[in-house]
Amino acid sequence: MIDDGRALFLQIAESVEDQIVDGSLAEESRAPSTNELAAFHRINPATAAKGISMLVDKGVLYKQRGIGMFVSPGARRQLLAERRTAFADRFVEPLLAEARTLGLGPDDLTDLIRERAAAAARSPERTAR
């Protein structure tokens, strides 16, 4: 995961967010500590701390004095909404750009997506791979 050119603390925050989004880190459960993150990703603890404090500022994690960090209730929904926008920026925008060069409009794209989704549903082993 690490090193796609963005600040490392952002990537660390994102790795924690990933776990919340995919459900492996449940709301109200204990989040990994700064030192655990530092040891796992082999990074400077200050960087891990920066990632954690960003998540606290965003309201994704909250601190329980003397115990540690916990996942806030509602964090998953908040992150999913955020990811939806990011998904559009990251995938839909380039998709539209490439479609334009091929002369495909939004309706053509919708048709294509439906077609492929239906094909994938018919032969699930293809998507499993």
The contact set with other proteins (CB under 8 A) reads: 2-9, 34-35, 38-39, 41-47, 50, 89, 93-94, 97, 101
Nearer to other proteins, 103 or 124 (CB): 103
Helix (H) or strand (E) holding 96: helix 93-101
* Residues 83 and 21 sit within 8 Å (Cβ to Cβ): yes
CB of 106 to other proteins, least distance (A): 17
| Sign, CA torsion 29/31/36/42 | positive
CA dist., res. 82 & res. 49, Å (int): 22
CB of 72 to other proteins, least distance (A): 25
Name the nearest CA neighbour of 62 among 37, 22, 31, 19.
Answer: 31
CB of 110 to other proteins, least distance (A): 21
CB of 122 to other proteins, least distance (A): 32
Nearer to other proteins, 89 or 107 (CB): 89
Nearer to other proteins, 90 or 114 (CB): 90
Nearer to other proteins, 12 or 75 (CB): 12
Phi-psi region of 124 (alpha: psi -120 to 50; beta: other; left: phi over 0): alpha
* Residues 11 and 2 sit within 8 Å (Cβ to Cβ): yes
